[in-house]
């Protein structure tokens, strides 16, 4: 069955909301089909296009022992209210989950205001925040059912559309990463996250290269991650974010502490003028030279 990844995620959230009277859902005038039926509930708060106030309200509720979930476009829930996230949520270790819808070029035709390509590093700079980047419907189902089992603030990046290409994979949230393609003889691996797992899997089918989906970007099993990576001769870090705004600094920082002998290649948005206005996602990726063909050419 074809189902939008957002509906899978928020349907589970809605079920928890209806059962747990201490849970509040807040938004910045963003619409989600699965939540329309609970919009009249007093524990559902639409703050309008006022993200700083939105986060402050979530912080206040958290201070009164409430569980809060805030959702909206990832670009507006990060840069626009970063100070509130840092001081009012993180410094109090509030039980608040921030759901950033539309990472990468999910909403490509809406222009650079909606292009979420730097937000990972914003939360990586705040020690209290966990970061989870959802790649497919199966992972969306698992994360949304277990989200409030993770203590403290969590930032979740959520795609749009049908992303059901990894339906048979069992994800371990504590481990934080999972092979989506694995070949016995492969000495090359693509480390990627989010939507790019889909593209990496397609290249893997053609090139017979392993694909490792890194979906929990903090507090994952670092030792096992290193133990896996040291077995490869070539590692490609493939990301839909900027060089300094995505997973590249996270992975290279881990590698710097261990002796990784593999040849490391990177394919992400270069640190230069990247503003691309309204266009479809494939064309944007092509212009930035991070599309499927660009990945194929690396090998």
The CATH class, in words, for 5-158 is alpha beta
Paired residues of 214 in beta bridges: 177
What tens digit of pLDDT does each residue of 185-231 get?
999 999 999 999 999 999 999 999 999 999 999 999 999 999 999 99
What does the alpha-carbon distance between residue 51 and residue 27 come to, in Å, rounded to a whole number? 8
What tens digit of pLDDT does each residue of 55-91 get?
999 999 999 999 999 999 999 999 999 999 999 999 9
- The whole-model pTM stands at 0.96
Q: What is the mean pLDDT of the chain?
A: 95
DSSP labels for 35-60? Answer: GGGGTTSTTEEE--S-HHHHHHHHHH
In the DSSP assignment, the letter for residue 271 is: S
**What residue segments make up the domains of the chain, in order of their start?**
5-158, 177-298
CATH number assigned to the domain covering 177-298: 3.40.50.920
Residue 5: closest CA among 127, 120, 129, 164: 164
Q: Residues 223, 251: contact at Cβ < 8 Å?
A: no
Residue 165: closest CA among 24, 3, 12: 3
5-158 with 177-298: one CATH topology?
Answer: yes
Packed helices 137-146 and 5-19: angle between N→C axes, nearest 10 degrees: 20
What tens digit of pLDDT does each residue of 37-55 get?
999 999 999 999 999 999 9
Q: 3-class secondary structure for 217-270?
A: CCCCCHHHHHHHHCCCCEEEEEEEEECCCCCHHHHHHHHHCCCCCCEEEEEEEC
What does the block give as tokens for 269?
């948005």
In the DSSP assignment, the letter for residue 162 is: B
Instruction: Order across the sheet with 23-27: list the strands.
Output: 44-46, 23-27, 67-73, 96-101, 154-158, 130-133
């Amino acid at each position: 069955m074809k189902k939008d990844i957002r509906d899978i995620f928020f349907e589970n959230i809605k079920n928890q909301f209806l059962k747990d009277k201490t849970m509040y859902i807040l938004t910045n005038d963003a619409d989600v089909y699965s939540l329309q039926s609970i919009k009249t509930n007093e524990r559902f708060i639409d703050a309008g296009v006022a993200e700083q106030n939105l986060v402050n309200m979530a912080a206040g509720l958290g201070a009164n022992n409430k569980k809060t979930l805030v959702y909206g476009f990832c670009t507006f829930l990060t840069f626009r209210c970063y100070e509130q996230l840092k001081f009012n949520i993180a410094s109090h270790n509030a039980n608040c989950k921030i759901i950033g819808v539309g990472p990468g070029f999910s909403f490509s035709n809406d222009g650079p205001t909606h292009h979420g390509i730097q937000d990972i590093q914003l939360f990586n700079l705040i020690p209290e925040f966990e970061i989870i980047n959802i790649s497919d419907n199966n992972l969306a189902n698992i994360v949304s059912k277990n989200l409030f089992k993770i203590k403290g603030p969590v930032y979740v990046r959520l795609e749009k559309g049908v992303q059901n290409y990894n339906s048979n994979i069992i994800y371990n949230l504590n481990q934080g990463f999972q092979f989506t393609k694995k070949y016995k003889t492969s000495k090359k691996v693509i480390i990627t996250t989010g939507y790019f797992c889909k593209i990496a899997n397609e290249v893997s089918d053609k090139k017979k290269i392993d694909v490792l989906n890194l979906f929990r970007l903090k507090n994952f099993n670092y030792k096992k991650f290193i133990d896996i990576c040291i077995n490869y001769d070539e590692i490609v870090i493939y990301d839909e974010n900027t060089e300094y705004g995505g997973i590249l600094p996270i992975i290279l920082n881990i590698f710097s502490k261990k002796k990784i002998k593999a040849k490391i290649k990177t394919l992400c948005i270069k640190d230069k003028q990247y503003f691309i206005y309204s266009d479809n996602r494939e064309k944007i990726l092509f212009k930035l030279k991070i599309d499927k063909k660009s990945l194929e050419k690396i090998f």
